[in-house]
Structures are given as C-alpha cells and as structure tokens.
Amino acid sequence: MNTIPVITIDGPSGSGKGTIARLLAKKMGWHYLESGALYRVLAYAVIQAKIDLNDVSRLVVLARDLPVKFDSEDESRILWCGYDITDSIHTESCGNLASKIAALPEVRDALLSRQRVFCASPGLVTDGRDMGTVVFPQSKLKIFITADRATRAKRRYMQLKEKGNNVSLENILSELTERDYRDEHRAVSPLKPAQDAILLDTTHLNIEQTFDQVMVFVQEAFGVSV
C-alpha cells in the first residue's frame, strides 16, 4: 500500500486552489503538482503544432510524450524543451483550449500515470479538477475550494492585469462561465467534489484567511502541528 501522504485541492478556475496548494506544499516541504499545467502544456503544444482537436490519436501520443518538466527547484515553473513557458501557458486562451482537450477521455487516460509519479516522499500537494476523485482517491485530505463566479472572474482579472495583460472583466466572466460548464458537464472525470472532500467557500476570504483555514484541516487530518 502506498503510504505517502497526499493532499488534494480541487476546484474551479479562480477559486484560489493553485495559490493555496503552492503555499501549502512549501509550508509542508512536500512536492507540488499543478495538474492543470499538464492540460495547459498540451494546449500550448496543440497551438504550436497546429493539431486538429479531432485528431485524438495524435493528441494521445503528444500527451504521453509531452516534453514537459517541472523545475526541480520550484515545481510551479514549467519547462518545455528547457524553456520556461509558465507565463505562456497561463493565458485565458490556453486555459480554454486546455478545458476542451481535457474533455477527451483518451487524453485524460494518457496523462494519468504522468500525474501519479508525482506522489513521492515526503508527500504531495496537488491541485486540479479530479485529483481527489480520480487521480489520488487514496488521499487522506481532500479539499474542494469554491467561490462565487463573479468573485473568481474578478480574481482572474486582477491576476492577468498585474501580469500586464490587456483583458476585459466581461470577457473573463463569459469565458469562465463557459469553462465551468464544460469542466462540470464532461462525461469523464467532471469537476466535482469527492464524497469525502471538505468544501471551502472562499468568496469572502482572502488568501491568508483561506490558508489559515486549510492549515486547520491539515492539522485535523494529520494530527500534527505544522
């Protein structure tokens, strides 16, 4: 039996799951897997190679052989053939295409084992849509982070603005609505909380308050004072 501890943080776009997962991994000294980055890198590769989304067998080969690495010093940095593409994949267009590709069961299947290898000592914190339900169902602590849609859109807007992107709140809100619908209604591994997940609504919480709450869950689940 695999006894390596795993904490899964799932939720929709803009819920704050990525920020919290990164902070938590750092605090625990555990590995970090941003599963959405794999779907985003795949979308990036599809754009670069101009691959048709109907060409599923080509997408599967690409998913299996994706030349992507997570920086060993900072696992939130994504390297593509040695180049740092972290900022390039975190655009709205890459996110939207990633969500379309992520609806293909064959692609999800091809990425499964790539995700599971991140489960390594001393532990793993991971974020995504199906981390608690499908990829790491053995996880001892599953958190599902949400926030109302307007709040999430505003957060994404601020994030992208800070990075110097020229974006409109209206567009972000409509893309987010579309992406939520697709992620929640796809036939395979839809976005939903695991039965044993703890729900955390961050609509009225800032990052610090959310993190404090998550630390309470961690202490309750693992019985340690960290």
Residue span binding ligand DC (CB under 6 A) among the ranges 23-31, 35-43, 72-80, 197-205: 35-43
E strands, 11-118, are: 31-34, 68-70, 78-80, 83-84
> Measured from the CB atom, is 102 or 194 closer to ligand DC?
102
End-to-end CA distance of the chain: 25
Establish if 102 lies at the interface with ligand DC (CB under 6 A). Answer: yes
> Measured from the CB atom, is 196 or 220 closer to ligand DC?
196
Tokens of 9: 């943080």
Residue span binding ligand DC (CB under 6 A) among the ranges 23-31, 32-40, 49-57, 153-161: 32-40
Measured CA to CA, the distance from residue 196 to residue 199 in angstroms comes to 9
Establish if 130 lies at the interface with ligand DC (CB under 6 A). Answer: yes
- Is the Cβ–Cβ distance between 33 and 95 less than 8 Å? no
Establish if 95 lies at the interface with ligand DC (CB under 6 A). Answer: yes
Q: What is the CA radius of gyration of the chain?
A: 17
In the set 31, 40, 142, 155, which binds ligand DC (CB under 6 A)?
Answer: 40
Tell the smallest beta-carbon distance from residue 216 to ligand DC (Å): 24
Measured CA to CA, the distance from residue 157 to residue 152 in angstroms comes to 9
Establish if 39 lies at the interface with ligand DC (CB under 6 A). Answer: yes
Neighbours of 219 (CB within 10 A): 12
Binding site for ligand DC (CB under 6 A): 13, 35-36, 39-40, 95, 98-99, 102, 128-131, 179, 183
